[in-house]
Amino acid sequence: MVAVALLLPPLLLCGVLALGRYEERLLRGPAPPPHAEPGRHLRAVPDVPAHEPPAPLPEGARNDRRTGEGRGRHAA
């Protein structure tokens, strides 16, 4: 029992650290080919409006954010 109490926390810590390294490896993505030029490759992004006005509500529809009145029901 004492051995389990002493060995379990370090084993769990090693498992968490190993999973963290694995996640970092996955997030890094594929390695660039050996003939690729080093440095950043920037791409242009098309101009998109930062904020579009919300669509108007149909006649007679109510939308009260405090009470949630006028919202549709969810399936769940």
Q: What residues of the chain score a pLDDT lower than 70?
A: 40-43, 45-55, 57-76
Whole-number pLDDT of residue 26: 87
Annotate the chain with DSSP letters as a single string: -HHHHHHHHHHHHHHHHHHHHHHHHHHH-SPPPTTSPSS----------S-PPPPPPPTT----TTT-TTPPPP--
Nearest CA among 28, 50, 32 for reference residue 41? 32
Whole-number pLDDT of residue 31: 75
Whole-number pLDDT of residue 18: 96
Whole-number pLDDT of residue 19: 96
Q: Measure the CA angle with vertex 18, ends 14 and 19; round to 5°.
A: 120
Whole-number pLDDT of residue 14: 97
Q: pLDDT by residue (tens digit) across 23-42?
A: 998 888 777 777 777 776 66
